[in-house]
Structure 1
Amino acid sequence: MRKKVSIVGAGNVGATAAHWIASKELADVVLLDVVEGIPQGKALDLLEAMPIEKRDSHVIGTNDYADTANSDIVVITAGIPRKPGMSRDDLLNTNFKIMSDVVAKVVANSPDSIIIVVSNPLDAMAQAAFRQAGFNRERVIGMAGVLDSARFRTFIAEELKVSVENVTAFVLGGHGDTMVPLPRFSTVAGIPITELIEPSRLEAIVQRTRDGGAEIVKHLKTGSAYYAPSAAAVEMVEAILKDKKKILPCAVYLQGEYGIEGYYVGVPCKLGARGLEQIIEIKLTPEEDAALKKSAEAVKELCAVIGV
């Protein structure tokens, strides 16, 4: 029997994730949204592309969680973007209510699923999903580091005019201003980028990585990134469905790893059929450790607002 992936939220990120999954023939896809007609229309359009792509993935759109029943993985992209005049706390509280409602329905219909959270603010929403679901931490994972490291890799490849396939990049911490790109663990064909890029240029690339989402919003004016975020979520989906044991930076619930207790923070993780299969702990310099702890504090502040 084919695998089943449900995506909650049929906006740009959700619909594009459905596109990547179907075009890779990873699973059958259920695209769910509260707005009537949107998931149905997008799913049908995508389904009609399958003969051209020569893929047998089945795609349906729905407003009913019953259609998501027995999903292997549920990707949650639901939530609202920040609007003019809206405070950070207002956004946080609104998306917390949405996340709580979504997760309760997901768990009721797919009690054995693995949840991948994409909604922002990412780390706090992953924490909220974890609390609501009652799953073990291996089955609730946040997508952030895959996206952030992809942006870092893009900028490194552009700077050095090399193939992106040669570039590995390492990003820890929360998704946002406090993320911690680690240049000494980032390489081009095994060569540390600290030996290839001078410090001032490297610092500019690190800052551009931190500002990656904002840079795209500035261009689009009325929207935010969706191609790379959805591709990042699907890399995690693929690692789990294919039991790849792939090491990816993900937001996971730490229980003392890296000296952080009880919060979702981005760290290198091994993903396989059980979801999170191992947290990889590396030795950080005092500066890197301080930056990671600062990032965790920022997550803690957000979680305090919504009480999770």
Structure 2
Amino acid sequence: MKVTVVGAGNVGATVANVLAGKNFCSEVMLVDIKKGYAEGKAMDIMQTSHLLNFDTTVIGVTAEIGDENGYAPTAGSDVVVVTSGMPRKPGMTREELIGVNAKIVKGVVDQAVKYSPNAIFIIISNPMDTMTFLTLKDSKLPRNRVIGQGGMLDSSRFRYFLSKALEKAGYKATPTDIDGMVIGGHNDKTMVPLTSIATYRGIPVTEFLSKEALDDVVAQTKVGGATLTGLLGTSAWYAPGAAAAAMVEAIALDSKKLMPCCVYLDGEYGEKDLCVGVPVILGKDGMEKIVELKLEGDEKAKFEASVQAARDTNAKLDEALK
């Protein structure tokens, strides 16, 4: 398994580091436009290999803008993870990044597809749902091979905030005790944490937490990224990097795991021609199946609103690419 990670910043380097430590990849290529940056990150990671007991080879590559051969070392990659673009700053929404990141992501994907036409693409760059849609449309790859990461990250944050609420209510809980899922767009206002199916040790969380406590968990989950951006001064990286690595692992090991991911809908959930977060089965062919939940009432209405928000952002693509 050869994996290319484009962007050697905080998120990309974390993806590469987590993948190396899991030891199922033969080679991880870390690519960046800044000369020497990816090479330095790769060298640093490789100097932990004896300490952490892994055999994965991590290689750094500089691919400057306009260098048509910069991606040649990535040829034959099985999976390409795209983290390129400007991260959020405090007070920014993900959607505000479209003007900068659309051109960057398009250029990266065009080069990566040229050298790895059979790769599965995992998109992290923001606004993620729209960058996933752009990648699919521009590359003309089949929809099973273009997958956005948002749902995995948002669900991890949801489980964290549920565990803290349970702890506050007097129960000893950690995120590993919780099953919970977020669907819809990777958007601070319209993502949909599904409290109705969240469980603590197999028991619905509604048995332990009041509506007010659950509403607070939902609110904290929605602004989870913005909260960290405010604390750190930039976008988070450990959880986003680990979430992407988990997706790569499911593909590499053909695990058929159910994960909430951003994929192209073509009639599922009554929606067409957009990419948005829903539960899917991930395996060696990428997105192998979309699992359709029976959404009802408030959650159905919120999912429809989230879909519309994704469409609204997609409508800005033509202008962003000019």
Distance 1:251 1:39 in 2: 27
In the alignment, which of 119, 130, 133 is matched to residue 127 of structure 1?
133
Deviation at 1:302, TM superposition (A): 0.8
Counterpart of 2:316 in 1: which secondary structure? Answer: helix
Letter in 2 for 1:33: D
Aligned counterpart for 2:181 among listed residues 151, 170, 177:
170
Tell me, in whole angstroms, the C-alpha distance in 2 between the residues paired with 1:18 and 1:174: 25
Residue of structure 1 equivalent to 2:65:
none
Distance 1:197 1:87, change over 3 A: closer
Relative to structure 1, the CA distance from residue 218 to residue 83 in structure 2 (aligned partners, 3 Å threshold; closer, same or farther) is closer
CA drift at 1:87? 9.2
The residue number in structure 1 matching 2:164 is 158
Q: TM-score, normalised by structure 1?
A: 0.96
User: How far did residue 284 of structure 1 move?
Assistant: 0.8
Equivalent position to 2:5, from 2, 7, 19: 7
User: Deviation at 1:289?
Assistant: 1.4
Are 2:288 and 1:277 equivalent residues in the alignment?
yes
1:36/1:108 Cα in 2 relative to 1: closer, same or farther (>3 Å)? same
Matched, 1:59 2:71: no
Alignment RMSD (CA, Å)? 1.6
- Preserved contact between residue 260 and residue 293 of structure 1 (Cα < 8 Å): no
AA aligned opposite 2:61 = T
CA shift, 1:10, in A, is 0.5
Q: What's 1:20 paired with?
A: 18
Q: How does 1:210-249 map to 2 (within 5 A)?
A: 210-221=222-233, 223-249=234-260
For 1:229, what is the secondary structure of its paired residue? helix
Does the alignment pair 1:191 with 2:203? yes
Tell me how many residue pairs correspond in the alignment: 305
- Does structure 1 residue 202 correspond to structure 2 residue 208? no
Give the SS at the match of 1:284: coil
Q: Distance in 1 between matches of 2:152 and 2:90?
A: 29
Report matched runs for 1:39-58 at 5 Å: 39-58=38-57
Deviations 1:184-219 (A, max 9, x none): 111111111111111101100110000000111111
Q: Confirm or deny: 8 A CA contact 2:89 2:235 kept in the other structure.
A: no
8 Å CA contact retained: 1:89, 1:305? no
Q: Equivalent residue for 1:73?
A: 79
The answer to whether the 8 Å contact 2:90/2:226 transfers is no
**Cα distance change, pair 80–136 in 1 and its aligned pair in 2 (3 A):** same
Native 8 Å contact 2:250 2:283 kept in 1: yes
Residue type of the alignment partner of 1:38 = Y
Shift of 1:54: 1.2
Distance 2:123 2:45 in 1: 23
Provide the secondary structure at the position in 1 that maps to 2:315: helix
> What's the counterpart of residue 66 of structure 2?
none
For 1:77 and 1:9, locate their aligned partners in 2 and report how far apart those are by CA, in whole Å: 5
Structure 2 spans left out of the alignment, 5+ residues: 63-69, 167-171
Cα distance change of structure 1 residues 298 and 30 upon mapping to structure 2, 3 Å threshold: same
- Structure 1: gaps (5+ residues): none
Report the identity percentage: 45
Counterparts in 2 of 1:86 and 1:242: CA distance versus 1, 3 Å = closer
Q: Distance in 1 between matches of 2:139 and 2:155?
A: 28
CA distance in 1, matches of 2:246, 2:114: 26
Query: Once the 2 structures are TM-superposed, how far is the Cα of residue 286 of structure 1 from its aligned partner?
Result: 2.6
Q: 1-side partners of 2:71 and 2:283: how far apart? A: 26
Among 248, 256, 265, the alignment partner of 2:276 is 265
Note closer, same or farther for the CA distance 1:88–1:5 as it changes in structure 2 (3 Å cut).
closer
Task: Report what 1:293 is aligned to.
Answer: 304
Change (3 A) 1:289 1:137: same
Opposite residue 229 of structure 1, the aligned amino acid is P
Deviation of 1:246 after TM superposition, in Å, equals 0.2
Secondary structure of the structure 2 residue equivalent to 1:79: coil
Tell me the equivalent position of 1:110.
Answer: 116
Paired residue for 1:306?
317
Secondary structure at the aligned position of 1:219 is classed as helix
